[in-house]
Amino acid sequence: MDRMAGQISATHGRLHPAGEPFDRRTLDVGDGHQLYVEQCGNPEGRAVLVLHGGPGGGCSPFMRRFFDPAHFRVVLFDQRGCGRSRPTASVEANTTRHLLADIEHIRTELGIESWLLFGGSWGATLAITYAESHPDQVTGLILRGVFLGSRAELDWFYGGGAGRFFPDLWAQFQGPIPMVERGDMIGAYHRRLFSGDDTEQGHYALPWLMWENALAGLNASAASHAPTDYARAFARLENHYFMNGCFLDEGQLLRDRHLIEHLPAVIVQGRYDMVCPPVSAYRLADGWETCDLRLIPASGHALSEPRISSELVTVMDMIRDQGILRTT
């Protein structure tokens, strides 16, 4: 989850200045996949890995602006099949296990011993999963809009829960699907997004994308268009992961939380997040002594929500100034 972060709100407050990467490269990670990777900020600074949402969202220049470029070495990459990685919209050899291997490939290629993880929505899912798999390579987690990849969360968003608050937008999302198939919206869209007909895929990708986009920001509106290639990649990848339960065991991230409970973490969560309701962030933080859950008032899901953006900059500046990630 999390589409085109940084393009929903025009008010970004106190972000750091925009800057260009000091390194761009394409990594061959096997299985026919080529990953776009960039590094920004200080080449000798503290390493931070940015994990974008979706699956399928891709990273953007906006994501560079949460970090003091004089202090942090910021690594961003487009996950398999999306953004500037190739092949576009491919779900072949594209699972959570593959993404974890890609992250390790990037870390090794760049000569980084350990790093902070900064991720929101699906990026938070991936950050938690990677940390639980490689705790020795992680120094802390900064999470936003927590998504645990559970059946309950998918049922909320694609089974009508969120639709009770947005009945007009839910009707638009259901509209292209015959009544008889609406009991399983993920499955119904899957049949069309993987029909083998690019035109049909593009047609159904747009309402999939717009449903999520319309709910992402507290004051977001339902846009009626997006670039076809982007919409197709986003919808296909997200649907592929959700059809497969995000390639995680049910309850896996909470089950394995003990593996990372020694690590400091901060969760920045919109109080009125309709894409990833706060209950998931609360469950993740509950009983985790080194985790600081910050519920942000009058805020939704998107990275670009003004209060969300401001709080994330505050957290990263705190890490810069204190030298380590402390929780309160």
- For residue 220, the model assigns a pLDDT of 67
* Helix, strand, coil percentages for the chain (3-state, nearest 5): 40, 15, 40
Compute the distance between CA of residue 258 and CA of residue 22 in angstroms, rounded to an integer.
37
Catalytic residue among 273, 299, 309, 310: 273
CA 169, CA 207: separation in Å to the nearest integer?
Answer: 10
Residue 7 pLDDT > 50: no
Confidence of residue 18 (pLDDT cuts 50, 70, 90): confident
With cut-offs at 50, 70 and 90, classify the pLDDT of residue 12: very low
Please list the residues that pair with 37 across neighbouring strands: 25, 77
Q: Which amino acid is at 272?
A: Y
Lowest mean pLDDT among 55-59, 214-218, 298-302: 214-218
Give the pLDDT confidence of 129-158 residue by residue, as tens digits: 999 999 999 999 999 999 999 999 999 999
Instruction: Tell me the percentage of the chain whose pLDDT exceeds 90.
Output: 90
> Is the predicted pLDDT of residue 247 greater than 50, yes or no?
yes
Query: Is CATH 1.10.240.10 the classification given to domain 23-150+247-322?
Result: no
pTM of the model: 0.95
* 9 pLDDT higher than 70: no
Distance CA 57, CA 41 (A): 22
Give me the mean pLDDT over the 161-167 stretch. 97
Are the beta carbons of 205 and 232 closer than 8 angstroms? yes
Summarised one tens digit per residue, pLDDT across range 39-52 is 999 999 999 999 99
Task: Write out the two tokens for 285.
Answer: 């933080």
Instruction: Please tell me the predicted confidence (pLDDT) of residue 112.
Output: 98
The contacts found for 16-20 with CB under 8 angstroms, 24 or more apart, are 16/64, 16/65, 16/66, 16/67, 16/68, 16/69, 16/313, 17/65, 17/69, 18/61, 18/64, 18/65, 19/64, 19/69
- Which has more pLDDT, 229 or 293? 293
Ordered by start, the domain boundaries in the chain are 23-150+247-322, 151-246
Query: pLDDT: is 56 or 219 the higher one?
Result: 56
Percent of the chain exceeding pLDDT 70 equals 94
Mean pLDDT of the chain: 94
pLDDT of amino acid 223: 59
258 catalytic per annotation: no
| pLDDT of 325 over the 90 cut | no
Cα distances from 238 to residues 29, 80, 205, 259, in angstroms, run 21, 12, 10, 27
- Catalytic residue (one of 85, 121, 299, 304): 121
CA–CA separation, 285 and 110 (whole Å): 31
Per-residue pLDDT averaged across 13-34, rounded? 94
pLDDT at 234 over 50: yes
Active site residue 299: no
Give the tokens for residue 289.
């002594």
Between residues 5 and 217, which one has the greater pLDDT? 217
Please indicate whether residue 98 is annotated as part of the active site: no
